[in-house]
Chains A and B, each alone.
Chain A
Amino acid sequence: MTKCEQFDVVIIGAGISGAIMAQQLGAQQKKVLILEAGTGTDGRFFNNNDKKGYESYMDTFFTAMAKIPNAPFPNNPNAPQPLVTDTRNMSDGKPITNNGYFVQMGPNPFASTYTRSEGGTTLHWLGTCLRMLPEDFKLKTHFGHGLDWPISYDELQPWYEVAETMIGVSANARDQNYQQIDNPAVHIPFREGYDYPMEKIPQSFLDNYMNQGLQGMSVTIDYHHYPIKVVSTPQGRNGMPRGDYRPVGAVGNQNLGQRCAGNSNCVPICPIQAKYNALKTLAQAKTTGFVEVRNQCVVSDMALDEYTHEVKTVIYKQYTDTQTTDYEVKTVSGRIVVLAAHAVENAKILLAAGIANSSDQVGRNLMDHPTMLTWGLMPTDIGAFRGPGSTSGIPSLRGGEFRRKQAAFRIEIGNWGWSWPAGAPISTVPDLIDNKNLYGAELKRAISSVYPRMFRLGFLVEQLPDPNNRVTIDERYKDQLGNYRPVIHYQVTDYTRAGMAQAKQVSDELFAYLGVEAYTQYKQSDPGYVTYQGEGYSYNGAGHLVGTHIMGFNAQTSVVDKHQRSWDHPNLYLVGCGNMPTISTSNPTLTMAALTYWAADNVLKALEQT
């Protein structure tokens, strides 16, 4: 530790929130350093001799047997990442300590993952860009549980617009305000005259089939009728631009990816980057000339100034490659430090440094969308396995009075048949050959008559903030660089389980309405198997990790204030989904991005004041 480099702002993490922060600050000529724990591609699309580009992720993906969300991204023991295949059923009561990155204490396994590489989890996200409902910001006030946000929908609204433009979201505002749904709880006010930068992504044949098939359908909860409406989903995916908007193509290969081409592979990786990823924002940040991105630098500690309580230095381990444990310890300092390392990693770093935790809320209130799947065969060919993973959903039950008793949920219509619930076709076709003894023309017929009818729904059920669902650290569990592995306590409570039961009921009615031949099966051996009132249900992870350093109204009950600044340290800002006090029913990235634009604005003001 010889010299300590100085920056205006040091950002920890090169995912979407770090990239947004860097781009906004760099554009105002603030000198910014981003420290990224994982490896990166430095803006290359093609491999260049031994330097890997984005295309190397495709190579890894093609030959990966399990095409899980993190399949394309290198296994890096110096910055390990969780995998969905690491979990197992925990009904035996034993913790999972030696399988994968997470240490899972249960009682239920936490099933979601994230990506530790330059670009972060947006490398494998689906691109769903839903806004939250106004009532989602005031759960405590409306329903008597959960938490209120210190910021309202109306305050966040302009930042939603910024985020939608910068990410490049394709949607029509007249669909997304949900005025067409006869349930005022879900209505979202949009600014008069506003529209998204690109037209809505065409809805799949399945979406349109369902939209017609579900005309007139409603469900009843507590004597209230809720209409079932299929609505196009806003997506961070290049479509047909409106006006002067110019879609941003692939980083390092601009001509590629200016429009979605239907590769049907958004998760785990869009081969042409028609789907937004944070590499695009990072590239924009770098072109300001004020932003440096340093990959393979894992932040392990932060030191405080005794008197001001400001973060004085950021301490990190820079490793030379992923295969050895050689590293050097370095320190940098910034007038402002922004922690943008992801909900779990942010909490881990704060706990390791022992800072920002006067509220004892760091690591607590971990949430996800336990995602319950139902699947079956449509009576007719609906062209499964085509297009973006999901192009529509049913948002009718995202809000309503029932939230006093049970979780709300959003229904996602999956375009890829049984690929999620059954691994179709790769995992299912061998059975036709080995056990059903089909070959030649019969085998062809079996595949071509069944697979295009495969259909599945996903129910993204909300969780409430629960201080016992938490990330902690433990001296016994460290990775090979000596950094902590996250120790996770997690439970799916009855509020959410009741929502799952309600979701299954809705699914049954919907299948009956459409004449779907159901194949849904929840097995006791499923990692996410839970029971509610005697019935079994299984959840999966949605990859929506929220709430480990929540914002709030005061320093006693929350980690950051409304401005996304740590209550305890005046020059420390936290960004990312960890700031969200509740998860509600929207995929959190858009809201997190909006909050990050707001946070960047606050950081700029703070820099100008000092």
Chain B
Amino acid sequence: MYCRQPLRTIETIDDLHYNLQLAVELEFSTLPTYLQALYSIKEGSNTIAYSVIRSVIMEEMFHLTNAANVLIATGGSPALNSPEFIPIYPTFLPDNEKWFEARLLKLSPQALMLFLAIEMPGDLVPISMITIGKFYENIEKGLKYLDEKMGADLFPCGTLDKQIEHKYYYGGGGIINKVTNLDSALFALNAIIAQGEGAPNKHWDPDKSFPLEDTTGIESGDHQLFMQPRELSHFYRFNELKKGRRYVLGDSHNSGPTGPEININYDDVYNLKPDPQSGDYIHYPELEEMNFNVNVIFSRLLDQLHLAFNGQPKTLETAVCTMFSLKEVIQILMRNPIPDNELGEYAAPTWEYLSPEERTLSSIR
């Protein structure tokens, strides 16, 4: 399905739109992976892991919004409601990072390894390998190039009302600013890089201590990029879970986290079937129907997000609520063991976009 070329220099507005659409797909494609692990956590257990993964997910939505705003501001239209928008897992990420596959896994050490790969800072991988950060830097380069070439035409008038404004976003770090020129576009993209992989990698020093307050280990001082208490980048937040310890003041990349322990109990997690496919439930009509219901709501969510980024920003509020009901139906599914499964695995959602015609139950019967 996805067959993308390695990072190519962006020379035309079409190249730019293509890459920004890819960015939107990229940000979204991590969500099923993170949400599968998040919802596999049994109610009331692993509260810190839950809150960390949730905080990353909220910021992925922030990134998606930033990328979409830049796309809208440069005259493009994000497309979110099509089967192609959602990959079939396991999958390479849309930015063509070929060195790992995104999967649908319960919360486990293996899942955390995957999360770390997704958020891996560019400085930690060989120069030839693509990371999300490098992908965005390539877009920034293209933006600068086109800005010089096209001047004011790069940011046509009349896009402001279509962009998402800050009041719709909450629950994570970052301020959404509308994009009107090169500076605001770069600001939006820089926020994505900094939150995901950590600070832009110009002067990266693995022994430099993180800007953390000494007690909390997770919140840190003000950072001008976000104008909010800054958190560790996603990579290091996941590393805290992987290592089972908080980073505290004085810790650096090389030191690893040395703070208080984080208790993670991998037994308080539903033993989900990895990378489930809808075919897995063909002999279990009740599970099939529940997974179908999940996909219906998931598809509705994508439709709402699509509308939100295509002229009806207020629909974003509704989409957040749809997200909550999605959680509910997913958790009901996940608590059901798959009958006759020798590994004692539980059912899990397949995250598929259904066209409106496919959303009647008869379509699976």
Contact A261 B51 (CB under 8 A): no
12 A-B pairs, CB-CB below 8 angstroms?
A46-B51, A48-B260, A240-B167, A241-B166, A246-B227, A249-B171, A252-B216, A254-B219, A254-B229, A255-B54, A256-B171, A261-B324
Q: How far is the CB of A44 from chain B (nearest CB, A)?
A: 9
Contact A255 B167 (CB under 8 A): no
Contact A55 B47 (CB under 8 A): yes
- Which residues of the other chain, A, contact B168 by a CB distance below 8 angstroms? 240
- Which residues of the other chain, A, contact B47 by a CB distance below 8 angstroms? 46, 55
Scoring A46, A48, A55, A253 by chain B CB atoms within 10 A of each residue's CB, the highest score goes to: A253
Contact A259 B48 (CB under 8 A): no
Tell me whether B349 is interfacial, beta carbon within 8 Å. no
Tell which of B48, B166, B171, B173 touches A46, judged by Cβ atoms closer than 8 Å.
B48
Contact A255 B171 (CB under 8 A): yes
Contact B228 A254 (CB under 8 A): yes
Residues 216 to 245 of chain A near chain B (Cβ within 8 Å): 238, 240-242
Tell me whether B117 is interfacial, beta carbon within 8 Å. no
Nearest 4 CB-CB pairs, A to B? A258-B170, A259-B170, A240-B167, A255-B55
Contact B228 A253 (CB under 8 A): no
Q: How far is the CB of A168 from chain B (nearest CB, A)?
A: 13
Q: How far is the CB of B218 from chain A (nearest CB, A)?
A: 9
Q: Closest B-chain residue to A274, C-beta based? A: B170
Q: How far is the CB of A291 from chain B (nearest CB, A)?
A: 16
Tell me whether B194 is interfacial, beta carbon within 8 Å. no
- Which residues of the other chain, B, contact A46 by a CB distance below 8 angstroms? 47-48, 51
Tell me whether B256 is interfacial, beta carbon within 8 Å. no
Q: How far is the CB of A353 from chain B (nearest CB, A)?
A: 37
- Which residues of the other chain, A, contact B216 by a CB distance below 8 angstroms? 252
Q: Closest A-chain residue to B216, C-beta based? A: A252
Tell me whether A543 is interfacial, beta carbon within 8 Å. no
Tell which of B170, B172, B229 touches A247, judged by Cβ atoms closer than 8 Å.
B170
Tell me whether B58 is interfacial, beta carbon within 8 Å. yes
A535 to B55, CA, bound (A): 57
A349 to B113, CA, bound (A): 58
Chain A positions near chain B (C-beta within 8 angstroms):
46, 48, 55, 199, 238, 240-242, 246-247, 249, 252-256, 258-259, 261
The count of residues in chain B whose C-beta lies closer than 8 Å to any C-beta of chain A is 20
Contact A258 B171 (CB under 8 A): yes
Q: Closest B-chain residue to A239, C-beta based? A: B167
Q: How far is the CB of B134 from chain A (nearest CB, A)?
A: 27
Knowing A55-B47, A241-B167, say if A255 contacts B324 (CB, 8 Å).
no
A247 to B228, CA, bound (A): 11
Q: Closest A-chain residue to B172, C-beta based? A: A255
Q: How far is the CB of A388 from chain B (nearest CB, A)?
A: 15
- Which residues of the other chain, B, contact A241 by a CB distance below 8 angstroms? 166-167
- Which residues of the other chain, A, contact B167 by a CB distance below 8 angstroms? 199, 240-242
A247 to B54, CA, bound (A): 19
Q: A46-B51, A258-B170 are in contact. List 15 more A-B contacts (CB 8 A).
A: A48-B260, A55-B47, A241-B166, A242-B167, A246-B227, A247-B170, A249-B171, A253-B51, A254-B219, A255-B54, A255-B58, A256-B51, A256-B171, A259-B171, A261-B324
Q: Closest A-chain residue to B175, C-beta based? A: A246
Q: How far is the CB of A202 from chain B (nearest CB, A)?
A: 9
A253 to B48, CA, bound (A): 10
A261 to B54, CA, bound (A): 15
Q: How far is the CB of A16 from chain B (nearest CB, A)?
A: 23
Q: Closest A-chain residue to B47, C-beta based? A: A46
A254 to B51, CA, bound (A): 11
A608 to B55, CA, bound (A): 45
Q: How far is the CB of B246 from chain A (nearest CB, A)?
A: 11
A247 to B168, CA, bound (A): 12
Q: How far is the CB of A171 from chain B (nearest CB, A)?
A: 15
- Which residues of the other chain, B, contact A252 by a CB distance below 8 angstroms? 216
A7 to B133, CA, bound (A): 51
Q: Closest A-chain residue to B55, C-beta based? A: A255
- Which residues of the other chain, A, contact B166 by a CB distance below 8 angstroms? 241
Q: Closest A-chain residue to B168, C-beta based? A: A240
Q: Closest A-chain residue to B167, C-beta based? A: A240
A199 to B314, CA, bound (A): 14
Q: How far is the CB of A280 from chain B (nearest CB, A)?
A: 13
Q: How far is the CB of A597 from chain B (nearest CB, A)?
A: 25
- Which residues of the other chain, B, contact A254 by a CB distance below 8 angstroms? 219, 228-229
Q: How far is the CB of B316 from chain A (nearest CB, A)?
A: 11
Q: Closest A-chain residue to B44, C-beta based? A: A59
A246 to B168, CA, bound (A): 12
- Which residues of the other chain, A, contact B228 by a CB distance below 8 angstroms? 246, 254
- Which residues of the other chain, B, contact A249 by a CB distance below 8 angstroms? 171
Q: How far is the CB of B69 from chain A (nearest CB, A)?
A: 18
Residues 159 to 175 of chain B near chain A (Cβ within 8 Å): 166-168, 170-173
A256 to B171, CA, bound (A): 6
A253 to B216, CA, bound (A): 10
- Which residues of the other chain, A, contact B219 by a CB distance below 8 angstroms? 254
A156 to B186, CA, bound (A): 46
Q: How far is the CB of B291 from chain A (nearest CB, A)?
A: 24
A257 to B48, CA, bound (A): 16
Residues 110 to 126 of chain B near chain A (Cβ within 8 Å): none
- Which residues of the other chain, B, contact A259 by a CB distance below 8 angstroms? 170-171
Q: Closest A-chain residue to B218, C-beta based? A: A253
- Which residues of the other chain, B, contact A255 by a CB distance below 8 angstroms? 51, 54-55, 58, 171-173
Q: Closest B-chain residue to A198, C-beta based? A: B167
